[in-house]
Structure 1
Amino acid sequence: MGKLIYAAITSLDGYIEDRDGGFAWAMPDDEVHSCINHLQEDIGTFLLGRRMFQTLQVWEEFYGKTDLIKVMRDYATLWHGTDKVVFSKTLDEVSTSRTRIERVFDPEAIRRMKADADHDLSVGGAELGATALRAGLVDEIHLFISPVMVGGGKAALPEIKETRLDLLGQQHFGNGVVHLHYAVRNG
């Protein structure tokens, strides 16, 4: 059985995007990127909303390029080798490997995916992550908190009923980013 993991790079005040939709302030340095790569190694399937998929699909173009730094080559290899499910009502086709489109995010179908999985699953994007959290599907949360406050934008975590978490780990990086790892107490 696989776990469903939600991970996000967020500002200190809890946003993944600023008011203008920007996130340049969230770009990980090599040390943080290496940690994120390590977390992705056990993921067998990425569950992605359309916007997150369109942001990340550039990694397909990076796959196999030898002129990139190691952390980028490593992530491109992870991206290319991982199954991807894109939840979109408007996307008609995808050009990335191991990718399929689903029109509806069905919590019961995700529960079955988790039950049948040999590896963990990752849910990406604040809106899709919020849907999975509200459905009680998320088992772990990884937040990479950047040392910046952006004052508004898209929240990393949804408004949700009280949810208890257990701290599983924490790590700080030289650039001021702090990684917090929690287990979600579902039920």
Structure 2
Amino acid sequence: MLVGRTTYEEMAAYWPRALAERAGTETNQIMAERMNTYRKLVFSRSGDHPLTESADTEQVVVATADELVTYLKDLKRQPGKNIHLSGGSSFARSVLSLGLVDEFYFFVYPVVSPGASWFSEISDQRGLELVGTESYGNGVVEVHYVPRERADAPRPDSFTDMLA
């Protein structure tokens, strides 16, 4: 799992406690277990801020876009499962603008709120192909896309399969 430093700190404050206290729904507990066992790569531009300790966490310092591209391309070549980018918006915008995302899973929540656009730093239009959709009882809709140039690449059957 790839995550920016600020978002990681929010996750490190919540998920271990949620697991220990058995907080939330069964789905929340499944996610808490996964979040506490997944390998987490926390990206920072400077490495100046020490990370809250959490299981299987590594800080990755990449000061430039070129360093980020090199690191992620090397990571993609390594054996293992799917790589999941979990945010935050600054980190996600960097990865998106560099064209390093192979699949998009958008979760549309039934709420309108302010926030930073993940696509504000993309300088060109990029075509996507719809792979699938799913709706949930709480009103959330999942929309799965791949960049058109990756439309024929093998991929998991669902977002849940990717996280397994």
Q: Distance in 1 between matches of 2:137 and 2:19?
A: 28
- Aligned residues: CA RMSD: 2.0
Cα pair 2:9 2:52 within 8 Å, conserved:
no
Equivalent in 71, 74, 86 of residue 109 of structure 1: 71
Alignment of 1:1-187 (within 5 A): 46-57=1-12, 58-66=14-22, 68-88=24-44, 89=46, 90-104=48-62, 106-123=68-85, 124-150=87-113, 152-160=114-122, 161-185=124-148
- Structure 1 position 71, deviation (Å): 1.4
How big is each residue's C-alpha offset from its partner over 1:124-143, in whole Å with a ceiling of 9 and x where there is no partner? Answer: 22211111111111001111
Change (3 A) 1:185 1:131: farther
Q: Secondary structure at the match of 1:56?
A: helix
Residue 47 of structure 1: CA displacement?
A: 0.9
Displacement of 1:186: 5.2
Structure with the largest fraction of strand:
1
* TM-score relative to the length of structure 2: 0.76
Whether the 8 Å CA contact 1:59–1:79 is kept in 2: the answer is yes
TM-fit CA distance, 1:184: 1.9
- Sequence identity percentage: 26
Contact 2:104 2:144 in 1 (8 A): yes
**Given the superposition, is the C-alpha separation of residues 70 and 78 from structure 1 closer, same or farther in structure 2, using an over 3 Å criterion?**
same
- Preserved CA contact (<8 Å) 1:64 1:73: no
Aligned residues: 141
Task: Report the more deviating stretch, 66-75 or 98-107.
Answer: 66-75
1:89-146 deviation line (CA, Å, top 9, x unaligned): 2322331000011121621111111110310111122211111111111001111112
SS of 2:106 mapped into structure 1: strand
How far the C-alpha of 1:63 sits from its partner, in A, is: 2.9
Q: Secondary structure at the match of 1:109?
A: helix
Cα gap change, 1:149/1:117 in structure 2, threshold over 3 Å: closer, same or farther?
Answer: same
Structure 1 unaligned residues grouped into runs of 5+:
1-45
Deviation of 1:59 after TM superposition, in Å, equals 0.5
Distance 1:132 1:116 in 2: 18
TM-score normalised by length of structure 1 = 0.67
